[in-house]
Structure 1
Amino acid sequence: MSVRKLRLEKSWSQEQLAEICNLSVRTIQRIERGQKPSLESLKALSAAFDTDVTYITKETDMSKQSNISLKEEQAIIYVRDIKGFYTHLITYAIVIVGLFALNLITSSDYLWAIWPALGWGIGVSIHGINVFEVFNLFGPDWEKRQIEKRLKRNS
């Protein structure tokens, strides 16, 4: 993950790199996870790191040949997903507490803060169910069955 390595050498966060490159944070995350960047993204990254595009593409190709096993890669992704969920949960808690405080200060006769708490709470719940695979409706087994089904149909 050369982009990650270059970013860390500069002590930049993903958000800072995204701002410097005029890319989205999600794009930076995808590139750091191994997705092949577009030519425009490569040009923006090479300008940010003051390097040649071929250096970044060469490093990206080399990172695919790293010694990380599939299980290790899956574990890394899973831990990132858990981190994302807990970040979402903490943000939810802080904002909702603030909204309830604002609600009680401004108009304590009507509890309007319950509505954003319920709506966002549903989103946080779905995020948690997805991350912790409480209901694994579309898991690897489902994907495998669908791929086999499509391959049989196209044969």
Structure 2
Amino acid sequence: MIIRKLRLQRGWSQEQLAEFSGLSIRTIQRIERGQNPGLDSLKSLAAVFEVQVSDLHSAPENDMDTQQQITSDEAKAIEYVRDIKGFYSHLIKYVVVITTLFIINLTTNPDYIWAWWPMLGWGLGVLSHGLNVFEVFHFFSPAWEKRQIEKRLGRKL
């Protein structure tokens, strides 16, 4: 996570970091997901970020002492951005597939427009996903989650 934080602080994409460090994009992705990098990879990244290798390769118990540790607010922000990215990815797939279905429908059987049905069904899923990501309705808010956990554990709030 330290690598990701340093990369985001500089406004670099994973592709840019891979180019600057001489590592593959896949290697950058693996490191950012928590896989332990090799010493050569650490040296390359340390050179790019202009830090010591030891700053990048600290043990988890020492991470709390470093200024590079991701705070809970940063972790929540990262998770929120991932959720938004997931929604937009879902929306793009929906538009592409539904457009393709309409093209197929209109070229093969223009008398009956069956592509409305998958558009409606999947569209409800996309709408639900968007409402959930952007928290339009707070049906399943953190407070609700806490109440449910406490209820399952038999505790009173």
Could you tell me the TM-score, scaled by structure 1's length? 0.60
Aligned match of 1:142 in 124, 141, 144? 144
1:63 is displaced (CA, Å) by 9.2
Query: 2:25 is matched by which residue type in structure 1?
Result: W
Listed one character per residue, the Cα deviations across residues 24-77 of structure 1 (whole Å, up to 9, x for unaligned) are xxxx7xx82x6xxxxxxxxxx67xx678xxxxxx76836963432211211111
| Structure 1 position 11 matched with structure 2 position 24 | yes
1:29-108 matches, within 5 Å, as: 32=33, 61=60, 65=64, 66-108=68-110
Distance 1:62 1:116, change over 3 A: farther
- Counterpart of 1:125 in structure 2 is 127
Q: Larger radius of gyration, structure 1 or 2?
A: 2
2:108 maps to amino acid: T
Structure 2 segments unaligned to the other structure (5+ residues): 7-13, 40-56
The root-mean-square deviation of aligned C-alpha atoms, in Å, is 3.8
Deviations 1:56-101 (A, max 9, x none): xx76836963432211211111111111101111111111111101
Helix, strand or coil at the partner of 2:74 = helix
Equivalent-residue separation in structure 1 for 2:62 and 2:26 (angstroms): 20
SS of the aligned residue for 1:111 comes to: coil
SS class of match (2:136): coil
* CA displacement at 1:150 relative to structure 2: 4.4
Greater helix percent: which structure? 1
Distance 2:105 2:84 in 1: 31
Count of residue pairs brought into register by the alignment: 125
SS of 2:112 mapped into structure 1: coil
Question: Do 1:82 and 1:131's aligned partners in 2 also have CA atoms closer than 8 Å?
Answer: yes
Q: 1:60 to 1:106 in 2, by over 3 A?
A: farther
